Amino acid sequence: MTSSSPAVSRRRLLHAGTAAGAFTIVSPQSIRGTQANSKITVGLIGAGNRGSYDGAIVHADPRAQITALCDLFDDRIEMATQKIKVQNPKAYKDFEKLLASDVDAVLIATPPFEHPRQLEAAVQAKKHIYCEKPMGVDVAGVKRVIAAGRKCDPRKNISVGFQQRYGPVYLEAYKRIQNGEIGALSNARGFWISGDPFQRKSYPDPKVEKLRNWFCYKDYSGDFIVEQDCHNFDVLHWFLGGLPIRATGYGGTKVRTTMEIMDHLTLSFEWPGGIHVNFEANQLTPPVFSRVGEEFTGTRAFIETSRARMVHRKGRRQDEVEVMESPRDITYDGIEAFLGRIISGDVENVAERSALSTMIALLGREAIYSGKEQTWKGLFGA
């Protein structure tokens, strides 16, 4: 993939989280026109398991309805129709045709290598966009997303499936750290230790086999550090208030020998201000154990974050521990916020911010693949 976007300076990157996340206030009528009092119509591009899950949340919301499905494979369309419980949706195999229709918004849940060009096309079609992570599988694709985001109609949403940004436990943890409740932040960790989420299947056509098993191929998925661990890197980008300076790491394959991608890795990052971050992930752990989340060590206290809960360890005694449980899957929080912004006109454009979080994963991946320390400046430019 190629990108016509200009070189991204480190100064611009460090401030992108704030700039890209800024809200533009416009009236709902200017966004929805004569449909301001009707349901938001949404088209789903990519009718696989994740797309069907997101689509079902949208369709069950009284403010919206899925009216169109797009996928290259008929069985995916049929599966999504049943899972979403939508009656007689318009079906497309060409996403450009769906974008040319009269839907108000689109969900993009295709394999990651497709995200840059499909997000760019959705921006050009002036749709509200909810795009699943990551923002691409290589530097050119991610910069393409940044360029597209900068051209987006300011009345339109670009939201991304980094659900932690919308989860109540993460918002509370971030607030406490910002308020100094753990003291000065001195260290952080991240981890995604779990089993293999993907089962490879056989198909007679080699092209179909690769596309249907996209997760197994690094040029389609970005490797699991990009496809999955970008969630952790987005949290670190957010909580640490910036981007890493450098990374070193190791990884490889121990168990999952039928795929092009790794099944375990470990990384060490340096963030500005002398913050050192260890990150560990694997997709080979037996079902008896999993651990997914982040830890933030302050000079006075300690906070653990995950999709399930926040744990605030305030002192030396066990009774000085506060636990806040997440009431539901935080995907609901992200999608409901997306729909709410379309109605209120309080839109967001997080394309650039989300692209930068994806770039953190690319930095770590390059450090592992090369076997050498990689710097942000060296990989992405000044």
Q: Give just the sign of the alpha carbon dihedral 227, 229, 233, 234.
A: positive
pLDDT higher than 50, residue 313: yes
Q: What is the pLDDT of residue 202?
A: 94
Residues 210-259 pLDDT 10s: 999 999 999 999 999 999 999 999 999 999 999 999 999 999 999 999 99
Q: Phi/psi at 50 (nearest 5 deg)?
A: -70, -40
Which domains does the chain show, CATH number per domain? 10-164+333-352 (3.40.50.720), 167-327+363-380 (3.30.360.10)
pLDDT higher than 70, residue 33: no
pLDDT band of 381, cuts 50, 70, 90: confident
Q: What is the pLDDT of residue 1?
A: 36
List, edge to edge, every strand of the sheet that includes 105-108.
90-92, 64-70, 40-45, 105-108, 128-131, 158-160
State mean pLDDT over 186-190: 97
State mean pLDDT over 191-205: 95
Neighbours of 321 (CB within 10 A): 14
Helix (H, G, I), strand (E, B) or coil at 29: helix
Tokens 């943890």: give the residue. 173
Query: What is each CA distance from 177 to 92, 186, 302, in whole angstroms?
Result: 46, 11, 9
Q: What is the pLDDT of residue 3?
A: 36
Pairing of strands 246-252, 374-375: antiparallel
- The residues pairing with 313 across neighbouring beta strands, listed in sequence order, are 302, 321
> In terms of pTM, does the model score above 0.85?
yes
Token representation of residue 143: 């910069």
Listed in sequence order, the DSSP H helices in the chain are 10-20, 28-32, 49-60, 74-84, 95-99, 115-124, 139-150, 168-178, 206-212, 218-221, 224-227, 230-240, 331-344, 351-370, 376-380
Burial 20-35 (b: 16+ CB within 10 A, else e): beeeeebebeebbeee
Q: At what angle do helices 351-370 and 230-240 cross, to 10 degrees?
A: 120
Are 183 and 303 a contacting pair, CB within 8 Å?
Answer: no
- As a whole number of angstroms, the distance between CA 249 and CA 372 comes to 8
pLDDT higher than 90, residue 16: no
